[in-house]
C-alpha cells in the first residue's frame, strides 16, 4: 500500500510538471465559494507553474455562461464550479468529462476517502452508481442566522428553539422599525431552498410510502401558512430576492434574521463590508411541530467535456480537493 501511494505521488508530480505550461480557465460564482478556490489556485500556481484564470459572475450568470459554452462546445471554460442542482443538466447532456480514466492513471479508484457518502453520491452519473463526473468542493448545511441583541430586546434571549417564539420576536422587531426576517423567495431553486426547512419543521413530507405527492397535506398547509407569516415580517419585494439580496439586508443591519448558507458567515464578520460584525449568532433551524432540519447543498468542480486541457484541469481539481 505504501508503494502504491509512493508511485501515486510520483505520477502526480510528473503530471504537474508535464502540464505546467497549460492555462486553465475556471468559471465560478461571486462570493465565498469562488473566493476560496481563487485563493487555493494561487498556491497551486506557485507549486506547479500552471496559470489559472478565473471568470467570476453572479449566480444565475454562471449557469448561463457555462451552459452556453457547453452547448456550443466552445471550450471557453476548462472547469466549472457547479451548484448541485445544475449537475444533472451538465452530466446527462454529456457536458462533463468522466474522471475515471484520470483516477486510473494515478492508480486509485476514485476521490479521497474522507468525503461524506452523500457528497460523493451527487458527483456520480447516474446518481450514486455511475462514473464520477465532478468532485465536491464546498459542502453546506443551512443555518438560522439572527442578530443576538435585537432578538434579546424582543424577548428572546438564548438560542431559538421553536418557530412560535422566534416569530413573536420577529413581529416585535418589525414593529420597531427593522425587519424581523428577510425571506429568500425568488422563483425556482431559491424559494425551494428557503421553504424546505420550514416544510420539514412542520412535519411535511414530499411523498408518502407509495410515492404519491403529499405537499398539500395538513402539515404542508401549516408550513405554507407559516412561510407567509415570514413574508409579512420581511422587506417588500421578498418574492424576487435571492441569497445576495437577503445577505445584504443582514449585512446592513436592516433585517435581523434569515435562513441562509454558512459561506455568508465570513461576510458578516468582515468589517470592510458588514455593519453587524460580532452581532450575529449562527444556530440550527428552529422546530415547528417536528425538529428543525436543513437542506444540504454542494458546489462541485467538474471538467468541461469540450476542454482542451482536461488533464491539467483534473490535476488542479485533484489537488484542490485533496487532504
Q: DSSP letter string over 259-298?
A: EE-TTHHHHHT-TTT-S-TTTEEEEPPPBSSS-----EEE
CA distance 238 to 181: 10
- pLDDT of res. 7: 46
Helix (H, G, I), strand (E, B) or coil at 145: strand
Residue 78 · residue 313 · CB < 8 Å: yes
Q: Model pTM?
A: 0.72
List of residues 6+ apart from 233 with CB closer than 8 A: 167, 170, 171, 173, 174, 179, 180, 181
What Å distances lie between residue 145 and 2, 189, 191, 196, 319, CA to CA? 46, 20, 17, 16, 33
Decide the pairing of beta strands 296-303 and 135-141.
antiparallel
CA distance 80 to 304: 7
Q: Quick one: cell of 246?
A: 437577503
- pLDDT of res. 11: 47
Residue 151 · residue 227 · CB < 8 Å: no
Instruction: Provide the sign of the torsion angle of the four alpha carbons 33, 82, 195, 255, taken in this order.
Output: positive
pLDDT in tens, the chain (323 residues): 544 454 454 445 444 444 445 799 999 998 778 888 999 999 999 999 999 999 999 988 999 999 999 999 999 999 999 999 999 999 999 999 999 999 999 999 899 888 888 889 999 999 999 999 999 998 888 999 999 999 999 999 888 999 999 999 999 999 999 999 999 999 998 999 999 999 999 999 999 999 999 999 999 999 999 999 999 999 999 999 998 899 999 999 999 999 998 888 989 999 999 999 999 999 999 999 999 999 988 999 999 999 999 999 999 999 999 98
Whether omega for the bond prior to residue 169 falls within 30 degrees of 0, making it cis, is: no
108: exposed, middle or buried (Cβ count in 10 Å: 0-12, 13-18, 19+): middle
Residue 252 · residue 277 · CB < 8 Å: no
- pLDDT of res. 21: 57
Residue 73 · residue 66 · CB < 8 Å: no
Question: Alpha helices of the chain — where are they, by DSSP H?
Answer: 2-18, 32-48, 59-72, 87-92, 100-106, 117-121, 148-153, 163-175, 189-201, 218-232, 243-251, 264-268, 310-320
The C-alpha cell 454529456 sits at: 94
Beta-bridge partner residues of 283: 144
What Å distances lie between residue 59 and 67, 152, 165, CA to CA? 13, 34, 34
Amino acid at each position: 500500500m505504501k508503494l502504491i501511494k509512493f508511485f501515486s505521488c510520483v505520477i502526480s508530480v510528473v503530471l504537474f510538471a508535464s502540464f505546467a505550461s497549460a492555462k486553465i480557465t475556471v468559471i465560478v460564482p461571486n462570493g465565498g465559494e469562488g473566493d476560496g478556490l481563487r485563493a487555493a489556485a494561487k498556491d497551486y500556481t506557485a507549486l506547479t507553474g500552471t496559470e489559472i484564470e478565473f471568470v467570476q459572475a453572479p449566480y444565475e450568470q454562471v449557469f448561463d455562461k457555462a451552459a452556453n459554452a457547453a452547448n456550443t462546445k466552445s471550450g471557453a471554460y476548462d472547469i466549472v464550479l457547479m451548484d448541485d442542482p445544475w449537475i444533472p443538466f451538465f452530466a446527462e447532456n454529456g457536458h462533463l468529462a468522466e474522471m475515471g480514466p484520470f483516477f486510473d492513471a494515478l492508480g486509485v479508484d476514485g476521490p479521497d476517502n474522507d468525503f461524506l457518502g452523500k457528497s460523493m453520491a451527487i458527483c456520480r452519473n447516474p446518481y450514486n452508481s455511475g462514473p464520477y463526473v465532478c468532485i465536491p468542493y464546498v459542502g453546506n448545511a443551512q443555518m438560522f442566522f439572527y442578530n443576538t441583541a435585537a432578538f434579546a430586546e424582543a424577548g428572546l434571549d438564548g438560542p431559538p428553539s421553536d418557530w412560535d417564539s422566534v416569530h413573536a420576536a420577529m413581529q416585535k422587531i418589525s414593529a420597531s422599525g427593522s425587519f424581523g426576517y428577510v425571506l429568500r423567495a425568488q422563483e425556482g431553486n431559491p424559494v425551494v431552498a428557503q421553504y424546505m426547512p420550514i416544510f420539514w419543521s412542520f412535519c411535511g413530507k414530499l411523498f408518502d410510502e407509495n410515492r404519491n405527492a403529499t405537499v398539500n397535506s395538513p402539515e404542508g398547509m401549516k408550513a405554507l401558512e407559516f412561510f407567509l407569516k415570514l413574508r409579512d415580517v420581511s422587506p417588500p419585494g421578498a418574492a424576487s430576492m435571492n441569497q445576495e439580496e437577503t445577505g445584504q439586508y443582514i449585512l446592513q443591519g436592516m433585517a435581523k434574521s434569515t435562513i441562509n448558507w454558512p459561506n455568508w458567515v465570513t461576510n458578516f464578520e468582515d468589517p470592510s463590508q458588514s455593519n453587524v460584525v460580532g452581532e450575529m449568532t449562527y444556530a440550527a433551524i428552529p422546530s415547528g411541530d417536528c425538529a428543525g432540519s436543513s437542506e444540504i447543498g454542494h458546489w462541485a468542480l467538474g471538467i468541461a467535456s469540450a476542454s482542451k486541457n482536461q488533464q491539467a484541469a483534473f490535476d488542479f481539481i485533484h489537488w484542490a480537493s485533496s487532504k
